[in-house]
Amino acid sequence: MHLKDQHPLYPCSESDKQEIRRELGMKESILQEDIDAILDWFNKQAHLVHAPIDRDHIEKLLISTNGSREKTKRRIDNFYKYRSQAPELVLSRREVLTNPLYNGWSFYHQAAMFELYEKKRISIFKITDPDPSKFDADVIFRNTIMLGDLRLKFDYMLGEIWIMDLENVSFGHILRVNPTTIQKFMNIIQDGVGFKMFEIHFINVSSFGQHVVNFLKQFVKPKIMERFVCHENSENLHKYIPKKYLPKDYGGEQPSLNDMKAILRKELLKDLSKNYLLECCQQLSDESKRMGTKYQEEHLVGSFKKLEFD
């Protein structure tokens, strides 16, 4: 990825890019050989060959797998497979991208900070409307997958730090989350996109907020659960992340979440974003053409009778 290919939402300097490669021991010549080999493999897969993929996407997955070709192949296969099992979360983006009046962020904030912190991208999620009737978890899942597509193409970082603000979350919000849909979402994010998750910070965690965290633990891998950090307030966050890398809402120097939402909505409607994201709607496998073992929904949680909210 060259600097001319950068996206305004996910800036990264050439020096950051080179430092990330050096930290992972990735040489340009070997990296391009790996990408060529994976593209050759991809084009020989009957269930994938008609779906689009590009070199930037493969490079980001090689970064997330520390340069492992085989892990990257599995990640790609999962990416296309799980998207094909969740068309409601992938194809519904067309409504967002073709209607300039549509506001898919009316009840919550979602923002990736412009400046990398230790080569990691910080993302923040916050429900802003305390009324559960205005909450739609599927919209959050859809938007996150959509932005993930942009980041696989344009972002460049070692991994993720997520901050989830629970200030306005209530039991009514959780009741509106479909367990099957959240598991589909997590399959795509954890096993498909697969950015390294370094930390997930939950802030403004009340006694009820701890129940929310426990509920979410049922859908994430154990190694991700180990990276959960809970804070009673946002001030505690400063012990982990310098204010320079946080939005003004949390005493930081980055733009406010409201300002970033406005920038996000504007950029998504520009051709650079819109055309690419519409093209990504084709990134689905054709499981009827898969050779060998057919897809089984082994990662869904069955009847969910054992789901707990303690």
The neighbour count for residue 130, using CB atoms within 10 Å, is 14
Domain-located, residue 150: yes
Residue 101: which pLDDT band, with cuts at 50, 70 and 90?
confident
CATH number of the domain bearing residue 180: 3.40.525.10
Q: Which helix (H) or strand (E) holds 27?
A: none
Strand runs labelled E in 215-256: 228-230
Domain-located, residue 6: no
- The upper half-sphere exposure of residue 8, i.e. CA atoms within 13 Å in the direction of its Cβ, equals 13
Domain-located, residue 281: yes
Q: What's the pLDDT score for residue 92? A: 94
Domain-located, residue 306: no
Closest CA to 284 of 182, 196, 152, 192: 192
Domain-located, residue 204: yes
Domain-located, residue 136: yes
Domain span including residue 261: 12-286
Closest CA to 166 of 196, 134, 200, 204: 204
The neighbour count for residue 135, using CB atoms within 10 Å, is 22
Tell me: the pLDDT tens digits for 189-227?
Answer: 999 999 999 999 999 999 899 999 999 999 999 999 999
Domain-located, residue 129: yes
The neighbour count for residue 109, using CB atoms within 10 Å, is 19
Those residues with Cβ within 8 angstroms of residue 77's Cβ, 6 or more apart along the chain or in another chain: 45, 48, 285
Tell me: the pLDDT tens digits for 136-194?
Answer: 999 999 999 999 999 999 999 999 999 999 999 999 999 999 999 999 999 999 999 99
| Count of the separate structural domains present in the chain | 1
Residue 103: which pLDDT band, with cuts at 50, 70 and 90?
confident
Helices (H) and strands (E) in the chain, counts: 13, 5
Q: What's the pLDDT score for residue 293? A: 63
**Cβ density class 152-162: b for 16+ within 10 Å, e for less:** bbbbbbbbbbb
Give the predicted TM-score (pTM) of the model.
0.92
Closest CA to 138 of 203, 201, 195, 93: 93
Q: Stretch 271-297: mean pLDDT, rounded?
A: 87
Domain-located, residue 309: no
Dihedral angle computed from the Cα positions of residues 125, 238, 14 and 269, in that order, rounded to the nearest 10 degrees: 20
